[in-house]
Amino acid sequence: MRNLLFSFFFAILLPISMMAQPVTLVFTGRDVDDNYVQLDRVEISNMTKFWQETIYWPDTVLTMRGGDDDIGIHDEETVEPSSLRLSQNNPNPFNGVTDVMLTVMDAGAVVLEITDMNGRVVVTAHSPSLQCGAHQFRISLSDAGTYVMTARQNGRFSSIKMVNNGIGSGNRIEYVGVASVETKTASSIQMQSKSGTRLVTNRPFDFGDMMEYVGIAVVNGIEYEGQVIRQAQGQDTAIKIVFRIVENPCEGTPTLTDIDGNVYPTIAIGNQCWMKENLRTTRFADSTEIPFSSYNSSTVPYRYMPRNSASMVPEYGYLYNWSAATRNVASTANPSNVQGICPTGWHLPSDTEWSQLTGYVFRQSQYLCDGIIENAYIGKALADTLGWRESPGACTVGNDPGSNNATLFSARPAGSECCSSFYFSEAAVFWSTASSNEYHAKIVHLEYYSPWMVSESSNKIYAFSVRCVKDW
């Protein structure tokens, strides 16, 4: 009986002990090529317990203690958050000059001090009579590097880590004035970590809670949201958040969104703004559905899946017949002014617009495979590095595809569909708005064994990829 009782109590205590254990999350940002991406912040949601916290760079580690007190994120050695608090400087990193907000709950003198990572004091400022409230300070630092700023008052202190990438005009802490700040409850106040690497939350948490992690990064002034991660959380975990970073995006339009909510990066090539991925919408911009079909038609809009596989759509897009691509509207103008299947503010390119693209690429020597203008070997510069069948021919798209895509246009070989699947991994084919006759229209295509982008006519019943161009 004694052993039975012991086993009974042990069975009860074991899950309680497991639930009480802290769980530490370590967040890292990476791009699709696994290069490091600095996280601006991570939004952390417990979907089981219905709470959310946000940690800000340079903090990338969160420990969930699972306590009962709802005091939000804090550093375990930091004093009560209502007394003295330095908010993270903005911007951070900065180029010589940045602003900091200090919240003071007890009026009186405050000492501000900035030290480098060797502990050397760089600059000190004394504010003898700060009133209760939020106060803004402007920081100028002469040398690039990582620094710690600390505020001290009546034995209390709060610290933040700052990263300076530029050169300021001397080392100074200047008082700007009273800051306007939204009042927060104790449960939403977030204290910065003195270490700059670890934060702790006492929000309720149990092993197995469903969590959501959303990473945000700012690259070249553009804010990107990484992949959303949802998982039942148990043990300590290193969480990699993947971002799709756009290189050379269109000015003011780094992405576009279709009627289904699919988000596409953009790419500026010459004076044109192009989608950087194949379209994958299931509807026209007015919400009219584009049906699947195992039949073919030159007048009824249809869509198809590459290789008849839904798993191919996220990377290769859908394939559409000419009727779906253009909604049966033809044009050879530049711009075509044919919205067709494209999102509002965008249009399907005419053959003239495709010629404008290839003409621009042809005139840039860095995009020519062999540097000889007469050969016009531009196929590799437009083709993506992924998905292509190999080819031994010099300057062909399939020869060393890792060296493709100098323009970042990223053409992927989705092939064609109609009554059967063909040319997947071998050809990237795109519709234009130019109609040759009742049954044929102009296309452009890249093929794995060729160094060129070729323009010709094809039957309107076939289904090819679609790229859209931004309206002027």
Q: Hey, which of 124-128, 145-149, 166-170, 409-413 has the most confident mean pLDDT?
A: 409-413
Beta carbons within 8 Å of 3's beta carbon, 6+ residues apart: none
Q: Which of 95, 80, 82, 336 is nearest to 185 (CA)?
A: 82
> Which single residue is written with the structure tokens 């690259």?
219
Using alpha carbons, select from 94, 92, 46 the residue that is nearest to residue 70: 46
**Hey, what's the torsion of the CAs at 225, 231, 237, 242, to 10 degrees?**
-30
Pick the residue with more confidence: 346 or 118? 346
- Bridge partners (DSSP) listed for residue 257: 263
Cα–Cα dist 94/10, whole Å? 54
At 15, is the secondary structure helix, strand, or coil? helix
The DSSP annotation for 339-397 comes to -TTSPTTEEPPPHHHHHHHHHHHHH-GGG-SSS-GGG---HHHHB-SSSPPP--STT-T
Confidence (pTM): 0.56
Is it the case that residue 211 has pLDDT exceeding 60? Answer: yes
Which homologous superfamily does the CATH classification assign to the domain defined by 79-187? Macroglobulin (MG2) domain (2.60.40.1930)
> For residue 383, is pLDDT > 70?
yes
Dig out the tokens for 102 from the structure: 């200090």
pLDDT per position as a tens digit, 293-322: 888 899 999 999 999 899 899 999 999 999
pLDDT number for residue 228: 87
Residue boundaries of the structural domains of the chain: 22-73+193-245, 79-187, 255-470
Candidate ranges 217-221, 246-250, 256-260; pick with highest mean pLDDT: 256-260
